[in-house]
Amino acid sequence: METPTLDLVRGTLDLLILKTLTWGPMHGYAISAAIRRSTDEALLVEEGALYPALYRMEAKGWIEAEWGLSENNRRAKYYRLTPAGRRHFHSERKTWNAYSAAVAKLLGQNAAHAEL
């Protein structure tokens, strides 16, 4: 049976990328692969979404990039978290945790708890 790929909830891609970069500098493909592996293949980040997000976060000062060599000895742009990016990640993680707890609470209720 094939495992369904989940669509990313709007606004979560930045949070996922920032979390991934807390583990250390990575190039784009490695970021995408880490997200995929860490979610047991449930989340797939396409290049068309990943790179615009990286450029946007770089423009906001949350990440910095520099060229280096990948594991295959190829030239790759490595991204790393800035102090501002780390602060933003911690703030957004708190917001996400509160949001997901509220959604889980609602989904766990049955119709008898709902007031009309």
* Domains of the chain: residue spans and CATH: 12-106 (1.10.10.10)
Residue-wise pLDDT tens digits, 29-50: 999 999 999 999 999 999 999 9
- pLDDT for residue 114: 59
- pLDDT for residue 1: 44
pLDDT band at residue 110 using 50, 70 and 90 as cut-offs? confident
- For a pLDDT cut of 70, what percent of the chain falls above it? 86
HSE-CB of 43 using CA atoms within 13 angstroms = 18
What rounded mean pLDDT belongs to the chain? 89
Enumerate the β-bridge partners of residue 81: 63
Number of DSSP helices (H) and strands (E) in the chain, helices first: 4, 3
Residue 97 pLDDT > 90: yes
Nearest one of 64, 3, 70, 76 to 36, comparing CA atoms:
3
Q: Is 56 in contact with 34 (CB distance < 8 Å)? A: no
Enumerate the β-bridge partners of residue 75: 69
